Structure 1
Amino acid sequence: METSPSESDDVSIEIPSKQPANGNNGVVEEWDCCLKGKEITERHERHRRIGKVPPLLIKGEKGRRNQDYYEPAVISLGPYHHNRPDLAQAEKYKLITLEEFSYNSKKKIDYLYNKVFEVVHDARKCYIDGSTDDYNDEEFNRMMLRDACFVLFFIECLSLSNKKMLLHNEYLGALGFANVVRDIFLLENQIPFVVVKVLLDLRFEDKGEEILNGFFNYLNYGEVIPREEKVLEEDEHPLHLLELYRSYFISLSSSFGLSSRVPSRWRRWTKKTDAAEDYDYVKRNRSFASVMELKAKGIFVKCSYDESTNEDIKFHSRCCYGELELVRRAVSSNSKAIYLNMIAYEICSHNPNDFRVSTYIRVMKSLIVHPDDVKELRYSGILIHSLGRDEEVVKMYDEIEVPAVNLYMFNQLRRGIEKHCKNKYKTWAAELITVYFSSPWKTVALLVASAILFTSFLQTYFTIRPLPDDSNENIVKLLRLCARYKPPSSPA
């Protein structure tokens, strides 16, 4: 018989002697370093897992409207959506891609199965507890092999422009093929990268970096062209493909690319402003003007073609104008789903990161509020989209919910833009340039009007105050002296 303790009983809780006084200090320091863009020397030990979409993200009006963007439409990858009846057609196609992968890699299926089986226990640990209990090691390993071979076969065909890409149309249809990319980058549709890496090395050996580079470039720029960016860093171990693409998608610094030539007086004032706004979330998180509004204030958008830098967004305040450099990005019908799932990944718990994608999307939401903003970004070479109308791009960014951003990054950019806009000299000079020098005809009209105004002023002035009578004689004498003047001959 169990008895409950009385009020007089002493209750004690034993704390292990090896436990530090405050074991959360390491966690706090790691998060603080991530948010401030500093290098993490010692990571807090945690077991990262392939999570599911946070329930709070699909609540509210926008969340419910975007719920379909977190669920696969054509193919399931991993255990979370496995054996769904509406995705059964793709399961048959996985067997075909497995055979194609085996044929192209010149490895038998049994050999591929055994190589994946070597990491099957590590792969099982990557998922939430209980999500893989329905599968024994053999079933789970078979699922990992088929799913990973499908993903790599699709990436290979797209990156190398392989004609076998037509197999997707044959077995999935054109509409199904169009949705494969979005399904590969769903948060709940991820395969542990440890499995992908094993098959990637077996198939491509030392060319796996180039294959992933071409695939990611297709997503970023709409073209399969090898670039200088590294995809797989030696000291990085991504959990899955979505995490790897997120690190490749955008690079932001804690200073957000503000010009390094900042006066010491401005730096001291910035520190005071930062301290005053540290606990004012509304001030730090407020938006700034759109593209066309910034243009009216003398801030022009510019495409950043220097892809070797680590900062893909930069703001420079020049003498009479400002420049907001943005990296070139392609927007397609799959972009919304990919953006939403990268944001969902960033706000998952136990996952220290710098919210770089959330911050980038928030910047774009501030810049794009009207079709004219999209038009200006297209003309500047910053935005390439295949959504048909510019209104669709505005609608896409408006429907994306960004629950959290990196205030260290976003606030630096916003403050730099606001400081430039508050400078009346720069805004007046910008107004002069944008209104009167925006085209050659306006420039000619301004010069003609200025000449007419100047001659009218001279005419009025000399009408009121005419020249003396002997002034003409003095001018004639001066002209005659100038005509008779001869320079002295140089000595021989």
Structure 2
Amino acid sequence: MKKCYDYSSRKKYDDVKLAKMMLLDGCFLLQFIRRGGMINIFKVPKIDFVVQDLFLLENQLPYGVLKLIFEGENFKVGLPMEKNIIKFVTVIGMPEGLSSEIQLKEVNEEPSHLLDLLRSALLGRFQMIKSQPEKEQQPKRKGKLSSSQGGKEGLRWPWKKGKQRGIRQSFRHIKELNAAGIYLKPSRTCFLRDISFKSYFFCGYLKLPPITIDDFTKTKFLNMVAYEMCLDAPDDYAITSYICFLDNLIDHADDVKELRSKHILHNLFGSDEDVAQIFNKISNGLVDPRIYKDVKARIQKHYDKRVNTWIAQALHDHFRSPWTVMAFIAAVLILFLTRVQTYYAPPGN
């Protein structure tokens, strides 16, 4: 297990000291997770700070250590420990009220640590009971070095692989998309990969997975982004891409308000402006790996059609309430009936 840590951080520990430290930390972690499954951990004062510490990149214990500990212990109450861990992580990661839809399922590859498991849950590595997303292969891992390694040798930078040739993106936030007739809908699942866009004549619909924003959100995403830069992390940069995509849509408090009104974003953090600032800060300095380039290209294609903007603006200006729609339908019906009456009326003298 020594190889899971950078040499400079473990050189002061001999085998006995390191094994003792990992054993104590692992036992505390497993006991905390087991008890966390019996109570609402977020309603216990100050316990949420412990949860945040469990998912800091620098605090990760190799999953193999946890497995050695719980395989040697027989928990007679509740779920088997491995499923308890998955349940705990999915409760942490999923929007409130949706985590109960998770069906516990064996993963194809043993996670590196809890942060890796949390990332997998958010991206849909576990199957939903109410929906059946397509099976996706586990992303390839870049190397055998641990995510706990620090320094430049422990990181990789996706934008250094070559010059990016992204699409010409002219839209900047949700309000601009609305002006072009593009509307938001919640996705079928709460997995972060479940993003899609479809265009129908002069209307377009962008589907985004529901997400809860709370005090843990910023820390959670920053640590997963940092993990994706590590050499042994899955080589897909999915969380980084999601953050960049959402940052393209959120610029002001009005954008957050629109997401809330469509039941896509649940704000447990503060004001809408505070939420907008979270994504602006998380994405600061990131370069988009362009996983969602096809979705952006379809949005841009729809956005570039000026007729869509004109029609959307006309609908917004003249049909903002059901009364105006009813008045318009009534006027059209009256005109139609008048024409019919005129056509069938007997000729005058």
> TM-score, structure 1 length as denominator?
0.55
Q: CA deviation at 1:251?
A: 4.9
**Is 1:472 aligned to 2:342, yes or no?**
no
**Aligned counterpart for 1:193 among listed residues 56, 63, 69:** 63
Paired position in structure 1 for 2:111: 238
Selected match of 1:144 from 5, 22, 29: 22
Matched, 1:132 2:10: yes
Look up the match of 2:164: 281
Residue 215 of structure 1 pairs with residue 97 of structure 2: no
Measured after TM superposition, the shift of residue 450 of structure 1 is 6.3
What does residue 228 of structure 2 align with?
346
Aligned partners of 2:171 and 2:303 also within 8 Å: no
Report how far residue 350 of structure 1 moved.
5.1
1:182 matched to 2:52? The reply is yes
**Equivalent in the alignment of 2:122:** 249
Matched residue SS, 2:100: coil
Query: Do the aligned residues in 2 keep the contact of 1:159 with 1:215 (CA within 8 Å)?
Result: no
Quote the Cα distance in structure 1 between the aligned partners of 2:163 and 2:305.
24
SS in 2 for 1:412: helix
Inter-partner Cα distance in structure 1 for 2:162 and 2:25: 46
- 3-state secondary structure, aligned to 1:131: helix
Aligned twin of 2:262: 380
- Map 1:289-328 to 2 at 5 A: 289-306=172-189, 311-328=193-210
- Post-superposition offset of 1:339: 0.7
Deviation at 1:411, TM superposition (A): 1.8
Is the 2:86–2:117 Cα contact (8 Å) retained in structure 1?
Answer: no
Change (3 A) 1:128 1:287: farther
- Tell me the equivalent position of 2:100: 226
Question: Does residue 406 in structure 1 map to residue 289 in structure 2?
Answer: yes
Distance 1:449 1:471 in 2: 26
Question: How far apart are residue 365 of structure 1 and its match?
Answer: 0.7
Contact map agreement 1:330 1:383 (CA 8 A) in 2 = yes
Structure 1 residue aligned with 2:316: 434
User: Percentage identity across aligned positions?
Assistant: 31
- 1:126 to partner: Cα distance: 0.8
* Whole-angstrom CA distance in 2 between matches of 1:425 and 1:312: 29
Residue in 1 aligned with 2:38?
160
- Matches of 1:402 and 1:337, distance apart in 2: 16
For 1:472 and 1:285, how far apart are their aligned partners in 2? 64
Q: Distance in 2 between matches of 1:442 and 1:279?
A: 54
Report if aligned partners of 1:219, 1:330 keep a CA contact under 8 Å in 2.
Answer: no
Partner of 1:281, secondary structure, is coil
Q: Which residue of 1 aligns with 2:240?
A: 358
Q: Is the 8 Å Cα contact of residues 355 and 404 (structure 1) preserved in structure 2?
A: no
Label 1:213 to 1:434 Cα distance change in 2 as closer, same or farther (>3 A): farther
Alpha-carbon displacement from aligned partner over 1:199-224 (angstroms, at most 9, x marks no partner): 34434664532542343234321347
Say if 1:249 and 1:352 are closer, same or farther in 2 by CA, change over 3 A: closer
Alpha carbons of structure 1 residues 321 and 286: separation in structure 2 relative to 1, 3 Å: closer
SS, match of residue 179 in structure 1 = helix
CA distance in 2, matches of 1:147, 1:288: 48
Flag the 1:209–1:227 CA change in 2: closer, same or farther, 3 A: farther
Contact conserved, 1:183 with 1:189, CA < 8 A, in 2? yes
Partners of 1:131 and 1:421 in 2: how far apart? Answer: 51
Q: What is the Cα deviation at residue 336 of structure 1?
A: 0.5
Tell me the CA shift for residue 294 of structure 1.
1.1
For 1:472, the aligned partner's letter is G
TM-superposed deviation, 1:295 = 1.5
CA contact (8 A) 2:95 2:211 kept: yes
Q: What is the number of residues matched between the two proteins?
A: 304
Q: In structure 2, what is the Cα distance between the partners aligned to 1:287 and 1:358?
A: 21
For each residue in 1:87-126, what CA deviation from the matched residue of structure 2 results, as whole angstroms up to 9, or x when unmatched?
xxxxxxxxxxxxxxxxxxxxxxxxxxxxxxxxxxxx2221
Amino acid at match of 1:247: S
**2:123 is aligned with what amino acid?**
I
Q: 1:378 Cα shift?
A: 1.1
Distance 1:372 1:358, change over 3 A: same
Task: Identify which of 310, 326, 331 aligns with 1:444.
Answer: 326
User: For 1:392, which of 274, 288, 306 is the aligned residue?
Assistant: 274
Bigger Rg, which one:
1
Task: Output the CA distance in 1 between the equivalents of 2:121 and 2:34.
Answer: 18
1:241 Cα deviation (Å)? Answer: 1.0
The Cα of 1:342 is off from its aligned counterpart by 0.8
* Cα distance between partner residues in 2 of 1:443 and 1:193: 59
Cα shift at 1:351:
4.0
Where in structure 1 are there 5+ consecutive unaligned residues?
Answer: 1-122, 253-277, 463-469, 474-492
TM-score (norm 2): 0.75
CA-to-aligned-CA distance 1:49-89 (integer Å, 9 cap, x gap): xxxxxxxxxxxxxxxxxxxxxxxxxxxxxxxxxxxxxxxxx
- The gaps in structure 2 that reach 5 residues or longer are 126-160
Shift of 1:132: 1.8
Whether the 8 Å contact between 1:315 and 1:324 is mirrored in structure 2 is yes
